[in-house]
């Protein structure tokens, strides 16, 4: 098993290549092991997928429970693990810094921080608040004995505010605050992706699997993207197959779905 420092260095190096890499998002240990076996080079958690596996809504899982999940993934896999930290489990910069420290302590080598508050009355942190939170996380990361990769997210497009000017300004502020990777989930067009890449000088992550996102890995690489994630996409794809099978049984009393099922779940791990 690779050391955490080795995983951290490998993860950082992936962002330095010209070809973008895919960082898929497992929602439990089993799916993490399957993704590793398939040859992926790193893993990222999915807050929505993990919450669903516990029968919870997204953004309702306690920090303690998430850290147990992170530790389990890091312990069984040789791959670097990056963590979806939501808003860092608190508004205060010191809370964000402590969350990042705990994330590294659990065995992860990267984490992403949102500027979405979760409060519908003021859905986004102000520029100043958001930058200060990223700065606190970056300082916490630099204090670690390994190169922890901090990703800062501008959530405008994902939460109904398609304002490119504000998104770019936020990403630039997060860059100045010390983020290693920048991320604007919800952008879908070639023009939007190109604009984000041009606006910053750090690696850019793009979320695929959204309606309207039709760009391939090669196309995203040619635009300058360095990392591609799928968020809850794999979990939603699995649930799509699950629901189709369940509805067929319930509504039709037939079982044709079994023809497309894998022959053995345990065999996926061999």
| Domain assignment of residue 36, yes or no | yes
The angle formed by the CA atoms of residues 164, 168 and 171, to the nearest 5 degrees, is: 140
Q: Which residue in this structure is represented by tokens 């890499």?
A: 21
| Domain assignment of residue 66, yes or no | yes
| Domain assignment of residue 260, yes or no | no
| Domain assignment of residue 34, yes or no | yes
Token pair of 256, please?
């044709």
- Check: pTM over 0.75? Answer yes or no: yes
| Domain assignment of residue 237, yes or no | no
The parent domain of residue 218 ranges over 4-232
Strand partners, 116: 124
What's the CATH code of the domain at 227?
3.20.20.60
| Domain assignment of residue 267, yes or no | no
| Domain assignment of residue 13, yes or no | yes
Distance (Å, whole) CA 26 – CA 182: 21
Each residue's pLDDT tens digit, 43-102? 999 999 999 999 999 999 999 999 999 999 999 999 999 999 999 999 999 999 999 999
Structurally, how many domains does the chain consist of? 1
Each residue's pLDDT tens digit, 129-155? 999 999 999 999 999 999 999 999 999
| Domain assignment of residue 263, yes or no | no
In 3-state terms, what secondary structure has residue 183?
A: strand
């Amino acid at each position: 098993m690779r050391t955490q420092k080795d995983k951290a260095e490998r993860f950082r190096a992936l962002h330095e290549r010209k070809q973008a890499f895919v960082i898929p998002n497992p929602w439990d240990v089993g799916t993490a092991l399957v993704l590793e076996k398939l040859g992926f080079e790193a893993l990222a958690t999915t807050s929505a997928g993990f919450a669903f596996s516990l029968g919870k809504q997204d953004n309702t899982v306690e920090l303690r429970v998430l850290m147990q999940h992170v530790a389990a993934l890091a312990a069984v896999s040789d791959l670097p693990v990056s963590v979806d930290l939501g808003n860092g489990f608190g508004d205060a910069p010191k809370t964000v810094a402590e969350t990042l420290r705990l994330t590294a302590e659990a065995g992860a080598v990267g984490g992403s921080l949102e500027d979405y508050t979760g409060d519908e009355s003021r859905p986004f942190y102000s520029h100043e608040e958001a930058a200060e939170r990223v700065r606190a996380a970056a300082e916490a990361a630099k204090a670690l004995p390994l190169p922890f990769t901090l990703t800062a997210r501008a959530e405008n497009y994902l939460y109904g505010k398609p304002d490119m000017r504000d998104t770019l300004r936020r990403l630039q502020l997060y860059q100045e605050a010390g983020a290693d990777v920048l991320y604007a989930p919800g952008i879908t067009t070639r023009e939007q992706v190109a604009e984000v890449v041009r606006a910053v000088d750090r690696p850019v992550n793009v979320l695929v699997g959204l309606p309207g996102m039709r760009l391939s890995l090669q196309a995203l690489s040619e635009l300058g993207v360095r990392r591609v994630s799928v968020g809850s996409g794999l979990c939603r794809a699995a649930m799509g197959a699950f629901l189709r099978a369940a509805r067929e049984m319930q509504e039709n009393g037939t079982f044709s779905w079994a023809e497309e099922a894998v022959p053995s779940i345990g065999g996926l791990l061999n």
